[in-house]
């Protein structure tokens, strides 16, 4: 489930699949959404897209930052004595 950080500076309303199903997200806070990021990971894309078909929702990069999992560095192999 992707998480997006509100970087707009304002409180934004996150809509569910039904228009009346909204949740306010304050500036600097995160919204966790169902689905997978299916498009928009390219640097030149204007928005991330979560889901497909009728279930797809856009998350504009000007307002939202994708909280990508931190990449861990592999541990160096231990030398045998």
Question: What pLDDT shows up at residue 18?
Answer: 65
pLDDT tens per residue across span 14-63: 887 666 678 899 999 999 988 899 999 999 999 999 999 988 899 999 99
Residue 76 lies in a domain: no
Average pLDDT over residues 3-24: 85
Question: What pLDDT shows up at residue 73?
Answer: 54
Residue 79 lies in a domain: no
Residue 80 lies in a domain: no
Residue 74 lies in a domain: no
Residue 65 DSSP SS3: strand
Domain range holding 21?
3-66
């Amino acid at each position: 489930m992707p998480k997006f950080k509100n970087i707009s500076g304002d409180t934004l309303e996150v809509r569910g699949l039904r228009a009346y199903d909204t949740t306010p997200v304050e500036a600097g806070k995160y919204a966790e959404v169902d689905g997978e990021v299916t498009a928009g990971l390219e640097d030149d894309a204007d928005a991330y897209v979560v889901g497909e078909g009728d279930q797809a929702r856009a998350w504009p990069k000007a307002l939202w930052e994708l909280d990508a999992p931190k990449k861990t560095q592999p541990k160096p192999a231990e030398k045998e004595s």
